[in-house]
Amino acid sequence: MSTEQSQPSSARRHVLFALKISFSIVLLVVLFSRIDVARLWATVRRASPLWLGAALAIYLVNLVASTWRWRLLLNAQGVHIPPRRLFGSFLVATFFQNFLPSNIGGDVIRISDTARPARSKTLATFVVLVDRGLGLMGLVLVAAIGATAAGSLHHVAPPIWPAWLWAGFVIGAAASAPAVLAPAGFGRLLQPLTVFHPEWVGDRIDTITSVLERFRGRPQALGGCFAGALFVQATLVVFYFAVAYALHLNVPLWDLAVIVPLSFIVQLLPVSVNGFGVREATFSLYFARIGQPIESALLVSLVPQAIIMLCSLLGAAVYISRRH
């Protein structure tokens, strides 16, 4: 019976993956059909090695800051893991995030590596979710600041209204604050879920409530993590700016502060393989609104992604060394 059930499930996964990769390929083919590929490659070959090296260094700083955020949340829960080991885990997670056809592959690694020290998979999972949530809020806030600043640079209607982004940030903060300020009340809201499995679900709700209680008692951990999220998103914007500068492209920093966070949000949609195609289409649409050519959009999208994937190979080396 279990084999019969697993066969449709496996077939469904293969069909979904085929649809995702087809969608990515179609979008990329459409975009590349509108440009001179030879000229695009010539621009890449003229890139400044010095500035590409600077971009690589900025991205490595970004990885260190991301690990620090994660460690700050774990320490607040009494889970103390050596920084070097946690950084190695984050590198492995980054590798899986970029090379597996899933947006959650890296999170699975992070949860797996911290579940045993935390003595609870639920705790490890919830810490990663909190880290993700604060990171998403940081993305929206950086985009809102960038859109506000970029609005003064353009004499036409802004590509995206800053008010939408500010509203999204305020709504997200208002929706998540009660969980930290009143953990017991949040736990009661989850109680109806116990109808599915009273004992198992009830234990998880108790764990989540305890995690939120500890975060409420250590607000500096959440504040530090959010400040770290802003730093991480800001360094990502500077990383993309350094790549654009290396490619001799005149792209305003404030516009990158809008489109880079938005592109990461769009990549969360489970409609493509690791955001390919969707990310490039998002850059192209935004660049068209600010009068930049599609070639520039594709370069600013693909070259930083290539550097990110190159850095991710460090995670592969760590993973192989673990197994040995």
pLDDT at 70: 96
User: Residue 191 pLDDT more than 50?
Assistant: yes
What digits encode the pLDDT tens for the residues 69-118? 999 999 999 999 999 999 999 999 999 988 877 666 789 999 999 999 99
User: Residue 62 pLDDT more than 60?
Assistant: yes
pLDDT bucket at 158, cuts 50 / 70 / 90: low
Q: Which of 294, 305, 313 is nearest to 43 (CA)?
A: 294
Helices (H), 247-293: 253-266, 278-289
Mean local confidence (pLDDT), 128-152 = 91
pLDDT bucket at 13, cuts 50 / 70 / 90: confident
Mean local confidence (pLDDT), 174-181 = 88
Q: Which residues contact 296 (CB under 8 A, 6 or more apart)?
A: 244, 249, 251, 287
Q: What radius of gyration, in Å, describes the C-alpha atoms of the chain?
A: 21
Mean pLDDT of the chain: 89
Residue 254: count other Cβ atoms within 10 Å of its Cβ.
19
User: Residue 120 pLDDT more than 60?
Assistant: yes
User: Residue 134 pLDDT more than 80?
Assistant: yes
pLDDT at 156: 54
Q: Which of 53, 308, 29, 263 is nearest to 146 (CA)?
A: 263
pLDDT at 1: 44
Q: Which of 16-20, 128-132, 221-225 comes out lowest in average pLDDT?
A: 16-20
What tokens were used for 99?
């090379």
What digits encode the pLDDT tens for the residues 204-230? 888 899 999 999 999 999 999 999 999
pLDDT at 271: 85
What digits encode the pLDDT tens for the residues 241-278? 999 999 999 999 999 999 999 999 888 888 888 889 99
Residue 90 in contact with residue 110, Cβ under 8 Å? Answer: yes
Share of the chain above pLDDT 70, in %: 94
